Amino acid sequence: MSDGNAIECTLILRRIYSAPVARVWRAWTDPAELGRWYVAGSDHIVHFCEADVRVGGTYRVGFGPPGTTPYVETGRYTEIVPPTKLVFQEQVTLDEKIMGGSANVVELRDLGDGRTQLILTCTGEDSWRSGEGWTPCLRSLAAYLDSSA
Cα 56 to chain centroid, rounded: 17
Handedness of CA 15, 40, 126, 32 (dihedral sign): positive
How far is the C-alpha of 146 from the C-alpha of 80, rounded, in Å? 25
Superfamily (CATH) of domain 9-147: START domain (3.30.530.20)
* Residue ranges, the chain, pLDDT below 50: 1-2
The CA dihedral of 18, 22, 23, 27, to the nearest 10 degrees, is 120
What's the pLDDT score for residue 111?
Answer: 98
How far is the C-alpha of 73 from the C-alpha of 55, rounded, in Å? 18
Taking only the tens place, the pLDDT of each residue in 80-93 is 999 999 999 999 88
**Domain boundaries along the sequence of the chain:** 9-147
